[in-house]
Amino acid sequence: MKYQTILLTLLFLSGCVNSNNEHEQKSPYLENKSSSSFFLSTEADGTKLLNYKTDEGLKFIRPPKVEKFIDSFKLSVLKGNKDTLQIGWSLEYLLGNFSSDIFKRQTPFLQIEVNKDGWLDRFIIHYYFDSSTQSFVIKDMYKLDYIYGCGHELGAVYKINDRLYPKTLSQSNLKKIHTQLFSTVIHEGTKIMPNVLLSKYKKLMKNDTKESVSSLIFTDDEMSECKADEYVSLVYYFKNNPEFSYNIANFFQKYNYHEEALILLKKIIEDDPNRVASYLAIADSYYALNLKVQALKNYTIYIDKMTSLGLQKQIPQRVKILLQYEGQI
């Protein structure tokens, strides 16, 4: 894939903010200079500088010289949908079909992408320019999770709540931030529902068809179905929205995608064992797959939980008939 943007690999971004005078002595020409608050300039040795305007005049951030290192940083400067200056990949480009209204911004900001060699996943840190303090301040941070296998597509985006200190770019040590991000497997945060998935879901809730449900199944470059355990939980499980995941599981189940349905249903009861209906759905999928031992176990759990809640009269008659047929009651 060819990228038309300028890429900078950074080992440290020590946040060297300098005055305009020093910059004028070293910078032979400017690129993309306009009325924008941000623009690039190039020094005699080819080093790119990020310039930004303040009430005190023009200042700039000087990235260190590129060094070979397994961990990298990519710097982007973004401003809404027009007058955009990029170094690296914008979040919108990285998201592709996973775009969401939550990412629409109008305020100019600085984006830093944090990678690790051998990892598909990456972190995006957004710094907004605070005119009152004349500094870049951390406002948002996102984690992009990719599917390991099945084309390595983007599978999920999280807005994470990790506290990174200090908050200003000029005082930050990105090497320490990198270590903090990649040394913690689980980050607190909210999984973001992409617009394309939300649109499919709304259509399914109005009128589900075999074709529409099949569109949720990932395929590889040869159009073969991907392994369910590679992507289903990552893409379709939302801990903060179990009803969504349960309904998607039901659609899978209805059109005989039982392996996909089981992955979601198991995640639901893992996080909330009291979602009783999920045990019935799990049992039905196991039974459809002729895995009778697992099916009967979950039918029994379902009946026990319904009985303990005083809801035994609401147990479907088909469940009792099936258990009688299997000699369980």
Check whether domain 195-325 has CATH 1.25.40.10, yes or no: yes
Ramachandran region, residue 110 (left: φ > 0; alpha: ψ -120 to 50; beta: rest): beta
Q: What would the pLDDT profile of 215-233 be if each residue is shown by its tens digit?
A: 999 887 666 788 999 999 9
Please say if the pLDDT value at position 49 is more than 80: no
Domain ranges of the chain: 17-191, 195-325
Please say if the pLDDT value at position 11 is more than 70: no
Burial of 12 by CB count in 10 Å (0-12 exposed, 13-18 middle, 19+ buried)? middle
pLDDT at 205: 95
Which tokens sit at 194? 């992409």
pLDDT at 172: 72
CA 161 to chain centre: 13
Q: What 3-state DSSP class applies to 240?
A: coil
pTM here is 0.74
DSSP 166: S
Q: What would the pLDDT profile of 177-226 be if each residue is shown by its tens digit?
A: 777 788 776 677 889 998 889 999 999 999 999 999 999 998 876 667 88
Using CA atoms, how far residue 116 sits from 61, 122, 288, in Å, is 23, 7, 42
Q: What 3-state DSSP class applies to 75?
A: strand
